[in-house]
Amino acid sequence: MSGDPITILLVEDNPDHATLVIRSLKNFLVANHIIHAEDGEEALNYLNKIGNGTKRPHLVLLDLRLPKIDGLEVLRQIKTNKDLVDIPVVVLTTSDAETDMARAYEYHANSYLVKPVDFSKFTELMNALGFYWICWNKNPFSCQ
């Protein structure tokens, strides 16, 4: 897939957090296309349309506290769907509750990250996340 944009599905209801994530990911030297879903229902509707003109994401960044359908249910549905199970899902949330972490990993999250309150730490986390999942993690869309 050399040269093809990496498609990232960002599932985030907080517009400020979404803007920070999108801005951080756009700073990478890897072409990427970010689809933003504002709630769990919108994310699942998008994922269920894959193959019908909807681009399959290479990565899902998933908040847990979402309107309509919560992030844990979105994660569960992704990881129990044979057509979606292999898409990496990174939980990116404000919740550091052990029960949320345990449930996310029980539902096969690929990573669980707690959003820092501090802007500079949030930016640092996004840079590390971007480098790891877009560049360092080996997969068909890794940096060359």
Quote the pLDDT of residue 106.
97
Contact 57, 51 (CB under 8 A): no
pLDDT in tens, 8-47: 999 999 999 999 888 887 776 555 789 999 999 999 999 9
How far apart CA 122 and CA 18 sit, in angstroms, is 12
How far apart CA 137 and CA 131 sit, in angstroms, is 8
The tokens of 106 are what? 């029980």
The tokens of 123 are what? 């930016």
Strands 59-62 and 32-37: unpaired
How far apart CA 131 and CA 83 sit, in angstroms, is 26
pLDDT in tens, 54-113: 889 989 999 999 999 999 999 999 999 999 999 999 999 999 999 999 999 999 999 999
Contact 70, 41 (CB under 8 A): no
- DSSP secondary-structure letter at 55? P
Domain 6-136 architecture: 3-Layer(aba) Sandwich (3.40)
Quote the pLDDT of residue 32.
75
- DSSP secondary-structure letter at 110? S
Show me where the domains of the chain are located. Answer: 6-136
How far apart CA 56 and CA 72 sit, in angstroms, is 20
Q: How many residues does the chain have?
A: 144
Which amino acid is located at 92 in the chain?
L
Please give the model's pTM, rounded to 2 decimal places: 0.88
